[in-house]
Amino acid sequence: MTGSIRVVLADDHAIVRAGLRNALANLPELEIVGEVSNGPELLQALETLQPDFLVVDVNMPEFDPVVEMRQICLTYPSLKTLVVSAYDDQAYVVGLLSVGVDGYHLKDQPLSDLQFAVRKILGGDRWISGPLINRLIDEHPVAGHTAASMLTQRQRDLLRLLTLGYSNRKIAFELGLSIKTVENHLTALYRVIDVGSRLEANNYALRHPEVLSMPGYRMAQTDIDIQTEASLSVLVVDDNVRYRTQLGKLIGKAYPATSLYEADDCDEALQLAGRVQPELAFVDVVLPEKGGIWCTRQLKTVSPTTRLVLISAYPDREFRRLGLDSGAVAFLDKRDLDAATVYQVIEDVLNCRAK
């Protein structure tokens, strides 16, 4: 019967709702009975309209995704629910699926897939967009893995900023996100490391500094078997996040069995080094406020065994002299860094370890 399945659309962008409405118009059995743009409106619509199907972007104002969806699934057990979101964060997806939603669809997928997703859910199946299936298979934690292996880079960034005492507003500014998006990501982060507050998350990071690292093989996006290689902890200190990521990929490619830590200024680098005691650190000469040479000298104090390598896009001779005097073992030109050079630096570290 035409229009027998009552549907509510929930998204805070009218254009997106219009796109969803147009896509679902090709399914004659559906009837769009309501559209909402925030959490309170959604809860009111569910109570008054009693729909059969909910299509929802959970990143809406005044809406705590996992908490609210858990309650919705409990309150309306017969309601079919499809999350349509731009977020492909593993913990975020798993968190929502675990509280009872019937499907998770990525917004960048074809509209025909959305229609297929709705039909599958109405038929009693669950739905996950194809790209998400691959990620969940690749990243799902296995027995023996710690929380460090379960965190995404974004979650590590959040946890790192939490340990520095950043407020949600400051985190949002630092990462170029909305405050609500930060709150959503923090909810997912807390679930992965099994804590309930900022204080507990900060204490967890202090007890387990390895959660702030990124495995080198993931940075390099390679399937190289690292079981036969000895692990190596590496700290990259640079205020340019793009370059940190680029260098991290080089390190991961040169030596996949690496735990990578990042810092964007001297104070953060000293905090990390004091907890982690990295075996190798790459430090940019030009850092905010105190500079890389001062940072190198202080790092040598808090972590005496760390081999420090200064890097610079401007390999000035005086900088080189001052850097080596401060305790660095090498001074490298950023523009000439490649996987082979990084591998040689790491080989030197491993050779020193073996002696």
- Cβ burial, residue 314 (10 Å; 0-12/13-18/19+): exposed
Instruction: Fold for 143-212, please state it.
Output: Arc Repressor Mutant, subunit A (1.10.10)
Which pLDDT belongs to residue 227?
A: 42
Residue identified by tokens 């008054």 is 48
Instruction: Fold for 5-136, please state it.
Output: Rossmann fold (3.40.50)
Task: Work out the mean pLDDT of the chain and round it to a whole number.
Answer: 82
Task: Tell me the pLDDT band of 145, cut-offs 50, 70 and 90.
Answer: very low
* Residue extents of the structural domains in the chain: 5-136, 143-212, 213-355
For the cut 50, the answer to whether the pLDDT of residue 77 exceeds it is: yes
Which parts of the chain are beta strand (E)? 5-10, 30-36, 53-56, 80-85, 103-106, 127-128, 214-215, 232-237, 258-263, 280-284, 307-312, 330-333
Q: For 227-283, what is each residue's pLDDT tens digit?
A: 445 578 899 999 887 888 888 888 888 887 788 888 888 888 998 888 888 999 999
Task: Tell me the pLDDT band of 216, cut-offs 50, 70 and 90.
Answer: low
Q: For 267-278, what is each residue's pLDDT tens digit?
A: 889 988 888 889
Residue identified by tokens 């669809």 is 105
Can you give the pTM of this predicted structure? 0.50
CA–CA separation, 79 vs 103, rounded Å? 12
Length of the chain: 355
Which pLDDT belongs to residue 354?
A: 58
**Comparing 5-136 with 143-212, is the CATH topology the same?**
no
Q: For 105-136, what is each residue's pLDDT tens digit?
A: 988 887 778 998 999 899 888 888 877 776 66
Which pLDDT belongs to residue 321?
A: 87
Domain 213-355 belongs in CATH node 2.60.40.10? no
